[in-house]
Amino acid sequence: MALAALRGLLSPEALARLTPLGGFEARVYTDGQRVYKVYSPPEAHLAALEARRMARAGLGRFVLGVEEVAGQGVLITQRFPGRPFRPEAFRPKTLAALSHLFLSLHRLPEPGQVKGEELLERLERFAETLHGVPEARSLVHALKREVGLAAGAERRFCHRDAWAGNLLLKEPGEEGPEVLLVDWVRSGGDDPARDLALLKTGSLDLLGEGAAREALFRLARLYPQEVRERLAFYVPLTYLHDLHWFRAKRPEGFPEALGEKLPRAQGFFRDFFPKRGRAC
């Protein structure tokens, strides 16, 4: 179906050069120079939305166009010469580039504040999904008592999906920025501390827990103390969200995720909540 849309844009020769890159919400292809992200008809509007959010993030130069063909939305972007986040490619300059990227995003204001009611509703969903895991349920209850730490925070522009597949690291010898975040459909107003927590749990954790914490705190040291303190809330919350997702969407992977993520969530909460800011 996605290729049907691209047939309306590209010549047969160009179609033959396309390589699929996968994708969840959309199907993604590249010809080596451009990337074509094709949204199905019910979500065709997301192509233009993603282009606008990329521009908001300062990445408008990567957007080459938005088209609608056969009811499908196509976002056309310049190809970034990089690969998804991987530990062996992580360097000090990678961390510096990540710091610059996230600080730039989080300086952009968004309307509203984080609502405690929404956080409590989220925790209630996790409690229902994870009701058969006493340790997870205990952590949910502990976070409920600390919702006040995060409630009322001013929203900033956040990516909100910085897992390793969306975080590209530039190949050695190539031109351009060291890192690039892709897939901006979920971006919007949120707490910067949550964005940093998602970066840890989705990407930095591939470095190992010790190195991931060190990288996270080096990033966070440039933020106000109140943002650093909220990591103690959002990092465990994000792990619980991951477990909720596995239990609901991919139950076959839940036991492995539970064994990996729950101890990290408990450890982070235990190690940093009592100190609230001194850890960073």
Q: Residue 72 gets which letter from DSSP?
A: E
Which helix (H) or strand (E) segment holds residue 218: the answer is: helix 209-220
Question: Tell me, what's the pLDDT at 275?
Answer: 56
CA distance 99 to 114: 23
Distance CA 226, CA 75 (A): 37
Structure tokens at 146: 């600390």
* Residue 2 identity (one-letter amino acid): A
pLDDT at 169: 98
Asked if 177 and 97 count as a contact pair (C-beta separation under 8 A), the reply is yes
Do 268 and 236 contact (CB within 8 A), yes or no? yes
d(CA 233, CA 145) in angstroms, rounded, equals 10
The pLDDT averaged over each successive group of 10 residues in the chain (280 residues) is: 82 91 88 96 97 98 96 96 96 97 98 98 98 97 96 98 97 94 97 98 98 98 96 98 97 98 97 60
The confidence score (pLDDT) of residue 274 equals 63
The reported pTM is: 0.94
In the chain, the domains with their CATH numbers are 2-78 (3.30.200.20), 83-272 (3.90.1200.10)
Token duo for residue 223:
């933020």
Exposure string over 174-203, b if 16+ CB within 10 A, otherwise e: eeeebbbbbbbbebebbbbbbbbbbbbbbb
For helices 254-272 and 225-249, give the axis angle rounded to 10 degrees.
160
Phi-psi region of 184 (alpha: psi -120 to 50; beta: other; left: phi over 0): alpha
| Sequence-ordered list of residues with C-beta below 8 angstroms from that of 241, at least 6 positions apart, any chain | 122, 126
Q: Which DSSP state fits 108? A: S
Structure tokens at 27: 């199907």
Tell me the H-state helices in 30-80: 46-56
